[in-house]
Amino acid sequence: MKKHGSNDGHPGAGPSQRQLRVGELIRRRLSEILQRGDVHDADLLDMSITVGEVRVSPDLRIATAYVLPLGGDDREKALDALRRARHELRRTVAGGLKLKYAPELRFEIDDTFDRIDATARLFADEKVRRDVEE
């Protein structure tokens, strides 16, 4: 019997509690590493990067970190630097966690703030405001 809410590959199924827990552990660990500068990449040492979320695959072997450089500038430069350092980051992250396998790290830009801004602009539109108020 499958647990309620488990990610069994069906569309619309959300991540399991284990995926959420491991993702949050990786997010915190990765944030600490980047904040302390525990990586040997000059570009990463020169920028502040926020790790907004980490999503982990159902088998816990792939972790996708959604990141954003402070101020939202130099997004591609940040992604390139993180991707270059992914093997070092993987070893360092795994060293602080008790997981059977060190997950492969992937990096994507966190567009949450962009979507929030777009939604705010939409609701600020006069036509939309009239529709919502009716």
Instruction: Check which CATH number belongs to the domain holding 123 and give it.
Output: 3.30.300.20
Is 133 or 68 the better-scoring residue by pLDDT?
68
Residue 28 has pLDDT above 90, yes or no: yes
Cβ contact 23:15 at 8 Å:
yes
Q: Is 43 a domain residue?
A: yes
Going by pLDDT thresholds of 50, 70 and 90, the confidence category of residue 120 is low
The DSSP bridge partners found for residue 64 are 55, 106
Going by pLDDT thresholds of 50, 70 and 90, the confidence category of residue 6 is very low
What φ, ψ does residue 13 adopt, rounded to 5°?
Answer: -75, 130
The order of strands in the sheet holding 62-69 is 49-56, 62-69, 104-109
Cβ contact 78:69 at 8 Å:
yes
Give the mean pLDDT of the chain: 82
As a whole number, mean pLDDT of residues 87-95 equals 92
As a whole number, mean pLDDT of residues 67-88 equals 89
Q: What percent of the chain has pLDDT over 90?
A: 49
Residue 109 has which token pair?
Answer: 């830009």
Residue 69 has which token pair?
Answer: 């450089």
Q: Is 89 a domain residue?
A: yes
Domain count, the chain: 1
Cα(31)–Cα(11) distance, rounded to whole angstroms? Answer: 30
Residue 114 has pLDDT above 70, yes or no: no
Residue 2's pLDDT is: 36
List the domain range (segments joined by +) for residue 129: 17-133
Cβ contact 51:64 at 8 Å:
no
Q: Is 126 a domain residue?
A: yes
Residue 5's pLDDT is: 39
Q: Is 84 a domain residue?
A: yes
